[in-house]
Structure 1
Amino acid sequence: MATPVYIRMKQSFYVPPLSTVRLGQIAKITGPRRYMPNLNSLILHQVCPEDRNIVIIDGVSVIHEVIQKYPHLDVELIGPNQCVLHVEKQRKKPSLLIISAIWLLLFIGAAMAIMNFHFDVSMLEVQQKLHYMLTGEESEHPLWIQVPYSIGLGVGMILFFNHWFQKRFNEEPSPMEVEIFKYQEDLDHYVAINENKAENKHVDD
């Protein structure tokens, strides 16, 4: 009777260049304990320069490698059918000048967006009318409303993005992190589908 082994592959995994990819790195395995060390250390792929920055490890190839070594095992895949390997190449330290230029550009862009929004909704007139309703006096620049409003706008943005430089206020991901995660998930899914299309076309030819 075949011994069952269950494998759940990770959707994506980051590896350094020229590294050896083992099954235990890209998947969680459960089965008889005596097979776990060998299965975890089973070599699936050797990253080479021709791989560039993305490699697809298909579930069928994983099953093939396991059965080749242990034909008496009954391998079942749970979860994703592919694992997308991202080859992380050594990154250069970013230039302080470039970082400053990008920060300045984003700061000016954000400031222009906020000012244009306030102009469109006539925020100054609203604050002037609010000042008149509360005090009975007219003022062209009701600073006691404008200053706290400006401070609150900045604090609200910090709390919304859940970050102050490297400090995180709670364990919840920020909206930016969620969007980056969704983008990476869609990218991995797209790469996996295109890889399958290329393989099917190659088989048909």
Structure 2
Amino acid sequence: MTNIVYLRVKKSVEIPYLKEIRLEDIAFVSTNDPKLKKRLEEIPLYRMTKKDNNLVVIDSFLIVEHLTALYQDIDIQLIGPTQSIVRVSPKSKKTAVPILVVVWILLFIGTSMTIMNFHYDVSMQEVHQKLYYLLTGERNEYPLWIQIPYSFGLGIGTLLFFNHWFNKRFNEEPSPLEVEIYNYQQDLDHYLNHYENKYNGRNHTP
């Protein structure tokens, strides 16, 4: 009797160190036979080595080929992605305080210069002066009661736009930066799927 096995490959997986990759590490398995499911999940597929440069792409077709060679009485139904990207996550290191301070100062100066240059290019001071004249009928070279609230509003608007205050999030919506990082990761995974498929049986575990 043929057992139907549903296999959904995980698109991207991170492992803490170089190790032997089992089916349960890179895919979800579903079948009516619990014992068969357990045996399938424990099947070794690949042995990560330093030659992989902490990254390997495993194709689901080769997974099916390997499983059907071991179990000829199963019918595998693939669902979802056709390849899985396995990365070895680097060991987390504590950030040095001096480096953090230097980076923060550089970012602060760079951002300040960018904002000031933008306001200079669009003649923001003249805009505030004209706005002050329209509201009061008087001319003032430094309309502080407009410039100061505008400066606070610029900072608050930036915080709301990026939806973060240090580690706190204002709402559940992703920030534009997080969306851009996600899109970049998607493009990177797409590239790896096409050009970096290293699953060639070299470290295959029969």
Contact (CA 8 Å) 2:57, 2:198: kept in 1 or not?
no
The CA distance in 1 between the partners of 2:81 and 2:136, in whole Å, is 64
Higher relative contact order (CA 8 A, sep 6+): 2
1:48-94 per-position Cα deviation (integer Å, ceiling 9, x unaligned): 22222211111122112321332111112222111111111223322
TM-score by length of 2: 0.89
**Number of residues paired by the alignment?**
199
1:102-143 per-position Cα deviation (integer Å, ceiling 9, x unaligned): 111111111111111111111111111111111111111111
By percentage of residues, which structure has more helix?
A: 1
Query: Cα offset for 1:197?
Result: 9.6
* Alignment-derived partner of residue 5 in structure 1: 5
**Structure 2 residue ranges without an equivalent (≥5):** 201-206
Query: Cα offset for 1:45?
Result: 2.0
The CA distance in 1 between the partners of 2:97 and 2:61, in whole Å, is 46
**Structure 1 residue ranges without an equivalent (≥5):** 200-205
TM-score by length of 1: 0.89
Query: Cα offset for 1:41?
Result: 2.4
The CA distance in 2 between the partners of 1:33 and 1:135, in whole Å, is 81
In structure 2, the residue corresponding to 1:17 is in which secondary structure? coil
* Alignment-derived partner of residue 99 in structure 2: 98
The CA distance in 2 between the partners of 1:111 and 1:33, in whole Å, is 63
Instruction: Note if 1:17 corresponds to 2:7.
Output: no
Contact (CA 8 Å) 2:163, 2:174: kept in 1 or not?
yes
1:155-188 per-position Cα deviation (integer Å, ceiling 9, x unaligned): 1111111110000111111111111111111111
In structure 1, the residue corresponding to 2:69 is in which secondary structure? helix
The CA distance in 2 between the partners of 1:167 and 1:121, in whole Å, is 33
In structure 2, the residue corresponding to 1:148 is in which secondary structure? helix
Q: How does 1:1-205 map to 2 (within 5 A)?
A: 1-34=1-34, 35-196=36-197
In structure 1, the residue corresponding to 2:171 is in which secondary structure? coil
Identity over aligned residues, as a percent?
50
Query: Cα offset for 1:196?
Result: 4.7
Q: Residue 18 of structure 2 aligns to which amino acid in structure 1?
A: L
The CA distance in 2 between the partners of 1:15 and 1:198, in whole Å, is 17
* Alignment-derived partner of residue 203 in structure 1: none
What is the aligned-residue RMSD (CA, Å)? 1.8
The CA distance in 2 between the partners of 1:198 and 1:33, in whole Å, is 29
In structure 1, the residue corresponding to 2:196 is in which secondary structure? helix
Cα 1:94–1:114, aligned 2, differ >3 Å: closer, same or farther?
Answer: same
Contact (CA 8 Å) 2:59, 2:82: kept in 1 or not?
yes
Q: Residue 176 of structure 2 aligns to which amino acid in structure 1?
A: P
